[in-house]
Amino acid sequence: MNYYIFIRPLIGAFTGYVTNWIAVKMMFRPLKPIKIGNFKLPFTPGLIPRNKERLAISIGNTISNDLLSEETLKNSLLSENIKDKISENISIFLNSLSKNDTAISEIISSYVGDDIYKSQLDTIKNKITISIYNTILEAHLGDIVANQIAIAANEKMKNPLLGLFGGKSIVSSISSNIATKIDEYILTNGEILINEMVEKEINKYTSKTIDSVYNDIKKSDININDILMNLYEKIILDKLPILLNTINISQIITDKINSMDVLEVEKLILTIMKKELNALINLGAVIGFLLGLLNLLF
């Protein structure tokens, strides 16, 4: 058997393999331009180092516009599969609340610290107090009470005999005096009294345990799971576009790639495309071998 006929195909295979291997390597190498005097060798630096910035922008735009676009994320996050998983996790979480005997105040303090918790609680208490106090002042509670007293008294004094003794003027004088006294009392003591009541109600609520609050809600026939799921869908539909514009995925990816060393970029690309690049090199050997066989026919 004449083995020499395989020399050309083998040389073609070797040439195709080496050529594609060099082409793949030249994607990343050399890392820096090679100069001989003032002359820079062509194809240096490699394709990736030379076009890293443009590559970063291209990858960022592709991921942002195609892979992580607003429509894609909405479809994914609102898919029945995802919603079922979220609903399941919410149910698990809510069931855990029924076994949690920790007070609300303790949980809040554990997240923000005692000092911040007390400070914020005082701020909330004062705001509620001032709001109620101002509302009462604007309502002229003294006039309202005095007016109701006057109406009730006048109903009782419809007897003509009582009218002879100046009943209406007496009622008017008394009601006016009552209005003044009530307004004075509110101005002097109203804010203190309201503050005490607000503090009492806030302490009453914050001292409750998680399980007691959860059980109270369950007794009211409020479906927390449905409420939270509706809230989730509303956030995705209404806030996702704002969130994406704020995050700017394209710019984040572009900046990340630009901040990476060329060797890191090479490692990243090889991790993703190692099999494909090796297949390309091997394909060069196959094509070279086939071309070598064709040369034997001519």
Interval 192-232: pLDDT, tens:
888 889 888 888 888 888 888 888 877 777 788 888 889 88
| pTM of the entire predicted model | 0.53
Q: What is the pLDDT of residue 53?
A: 86
Domain-located, residue 10: yes
Domain-located, residue 36: yes
Q: What is the pLDDT of residue 147?
A: 72
Q: What is the pLDDT of residue 248?
A: 82
Q: What is the pLDDT of residue 36?
A: 78
Using only the alpha carbons of the chain, give its radius of gyration: 41
- Shared-domain flag, residues 118 and 192: yes
Read off the pLDDT of residues 64-98 as tens digits, 9 standing for 90 and up.
Answer: 887 788 888 888 888 999 999 998 988 888 888 77
Read off the pLDDT of residues 246-276 as tens digits, 9 standing for 90 and up.
Answer: 888 888 888 888 888 888 888 888 787 888 8
Domain-located, residue 228: no
Q: How far is CA 183 from each of CA 41, 170, 238, rounded to the nearest angstrom? A: 94, 20, 48
Domain-located, residue 215: no
Q: What is the pLDDT of residue 161?
A: 47
Residue 36 forms beta bridges with which residues? 39
Q: Is residue 293 predicted with pLDDT exceeding 50?
A: yes
Domain-located, residue 115: yes
Element at 143 (helix H, strand E):
helix 141-156
- Shared-domain flag, residues 112 and 200: yes
Contact 154, 168 (CB under 8 A): yes
Domain end (from 208, 230, 260)? 208
- Shared-domain flag, residues 66 and 107: no
- Shared-domain flag, residues 61 and 111: no
Token code pair at residue 277: 């690049």
Domain end (from 151, 179, 208)? 208
Domain membership of residue 185 as a residue range: 102-208
Average pLDDT, the chain: 80
Contact 199, 125 (CB under 8 A): yes
How far, in Å, CA of 143 to CA of 296, rounded? 116
- Shared-domain flag, residues 18 and 67: yes
Domain-located, residue 233: no
- Shared-domain flag, residues 60 and 114: no
pLDDT band at 152 (very low <50, low <70, confident <90, very high): low
Domain end (from 208, 238, 270)? 208
Contact 29, 269 (CB under 8 A): no
Of 273, 270, 255, the C-alpha closest to 63 is 255
Read off the pLDDT of residues 55-64 as tens digits, 9 standing for 90 and up.
Answer: 888 888 888 8
Q: Is residue 138 predicted with pLDDT exceeding 70?
A: yes
- Shared-domain flag, residues 21 and 62: yes
Enumerate the H helices of 158-248 as residue ranges.
Answer: 160-163, 167-185, 191-206, 210-219, 224-247
Domain-located, residue 260: yes
Read off the pLDDT of residues 160-190 as tens digits, 9 standing for 90 and up.
Answer: 544 544 455 555 666 677 777 777 887 888 8
- Shared-domain flag, residues 127 and 177: yes
Q: What is the pLDDT of residue 3?
A: 60
Total domains present in the chain: 2
Return left, alpha or beta for 25; rule: phi > 0 is left, psi -120 to 50 is alpha, else beta.
alpha
Give me the mean pLDDT over the 16-23 stretch. 86
- Shared-domain flag, residues 116 and 193: yes
Q: Is residue 297 predicted with pLDDT exceeding 80?
A: no
How far, in Å, CA of 65 to CA of 160, rounded? 89
Q: What is the pLDDT of residue 150?
A: 64
Read off the pLDDT of residues 101-128 as tens digits, 9 standing for 90 and up.
Answer: 888 888 888 888 888 888 888 888 899 8
Domain-located, residue 216: no
pLDDT band at 155 (very low <50, low <70, confident <90, very high): low
How many percent of the chain have pLDDT more than 70? 87
Q: Is residue 282 predicted with pLDDT exceeding 60?
A: yes
Say which amino acid occupies 148: Q
Of 185, 199, 182, 195, the C-alpha closest to 130 is 195
Q: What is the pLDDT of residue 95?
A: 82
Q: How far is CA 13 from each of CA 7, 20, 108, rounded to the nearest angstrom? A: 10, 11, 71
